[in-house]
Amino acid sequence: MRSARSKVNHDSAFYCRICELLQESVHVRSAVLFGSAVSLEYCGQIGSGRGPVDFDFHLVTSAPRILEKYDWAEKLSAQGYCFQVSRQATGGARKLTIICSEGQLDLVLVSISAVRVASLAIRVGLMRHFALMRRALNEMATCLHSGYSFTKGQEAWGDFYSRVSRLPGVRLSNMDAVRMADGFLVDALWVLQKTMTGEFVAAQHVLHCKLVDTNLRLWREIRLRKGSPLQSFGLGRRVETIADLDEQQCFSLTGSVHNGDLRLLTFSMLRGMQALMAKLEPQWTVPQAMKRLLDFYQP
C-alpha cells in the first residue's frame, strides 16, 4: 500500500501543530494519517485557503484515556479550539474528535496491547479464527486502502500497517447481499405501514437509516468488485461526483414528509435495491407474496 506522505502539504499550520503535539506526546507510540487528507483529490486543499481541513489519524497509544482528557483547548488555542468529544469507534477503539476554527481532527485511539495481539494474530495466521478481530482489522484496512502516511512510529509499526493494508477491507459476499436485500423488504413494508398510520417521522427515519443505507452499501460493493475508485469510503461520500444519474436515484431522497411522498420514495428505493441486486446476485427476486403485499401500498 502506497504511502501518501509526499501529497500532504506540510505548509499547513494546523497540520504542523498537530504533528508537533503527536511527536512530543510520550503516550503516542505511532501516528498514521489516513483518509481524505492523503487522497489525490483532496490534498490540494490543504493550506490553499479553501476552508477548514479535516485530518484523520490512527494512533497506537499506551494511554487512550489520558489522550481523551488531554488539555487540547490549551494546546490548540492558537488554532481556534472550539470543542471536543470522545465516542466509541469500531473494533473497541475510541474516537476523539477535536474541532477548531482552522480544521477538524479525528483521532482513532487504539491501545498498544490490542495492536500487539492483532499483529501477532496476523503474523501467525490466527486472525481467521477471531471474527471480531477480523472485522476490526478489515475496517482499519478499508481506511488505509486510499493511502496512509506515518508521522511517528514507522520503524516500530510500519510492518503491521503494511500487513493490515493488504487485507480485503469491508466487503459483502453474495450471501451478505441477499440477507441485506431480504431485510430491506421487511423495512420497506414497515415504512409503508407507518405512512398509513400517520407516523411520518418514524417512517422517514427508517427510510433514511435502513433503506438508503442498504442501497449505499450494495452500490459500494458493486464499485469495489468492478475496481472502480471510491474517493472516500464513508457511506454517501462523494456520491454526487462518482455515481451516474441512474445510480443516484437508488439513494437520493427528494420529497415532503407526508403519506404520498414517503410511499413514492419507498418504492423508488425498492426499485433501486432491485437494480443493484441484479448486478450482485441476479437470481435474487422479491417473492411474489411479498410483492403483492408491498404493492397494496402503491400510491
pLDDT tier, 146 (very low <50, low <70, confident <90, very high otherwise): confident
Q: Read off the pLDDT of each residue in 46-56 and give the average, rounded to a whole number.
A: 64
Q: What is the mean pLDDT of residues 150-155?
A: 95
Q: Is the pLDDT of residue 178 over 90?
A: yes
pLDDT in tens, 236-278: 877 888 888 888 888 877 766 666 889 999 999 999 999 999 9
Q: How confident is the model at residue 291 (pLDDT cuts 50, 70, 90)?
A: very high
Torsion of CA 183, 187, 192, 194, to 10 degrees: 150
Q: Is the pLDDT of residue 220 over 80?
A: yes
On whether the CB atoms of residues 217 and 180 are closer than 8 A, the answer is: yes
The average pLDDT across 219-238 equals 83
What domains can be seen in the chain, in order of their start residue?
5-165 (3.30.460), 174-295 (1.20.120.330)
Burial 3-29 (b: 16+ CB within 10 A, else e): bbeebbeeebebbebbbebbeebebbb
| C-alpha span between 63 and 109 (Å, rounded) | 9
DSSP letters spanning 202-237:
HHHHHIIIIIIHHHHHHHHHHHHHHT---S--STTT
Q: How far is Cα of residue 218 from the mean position of the Cα atoms in its chain? A: 14
Angle, alpha carbons 112-118-120 (nearest 5°) = 105
Angle ∠(292,296,299) on CA atoms, nearest 5: 130
Residue 22 has pLDDT above 70, yes or no: yes
Average pLDDT over residues 111-115: 93
Rounded to 5°, angle at Cα 180 from 179 and 186: 95
Q: How many residues does the chain have?
A: 299
pLDDT beyond 90 at 130: no
Least Cα distance to 37 among 61, 59, 15, 21 occurs for 15
Beta bridge partners of 54: 104
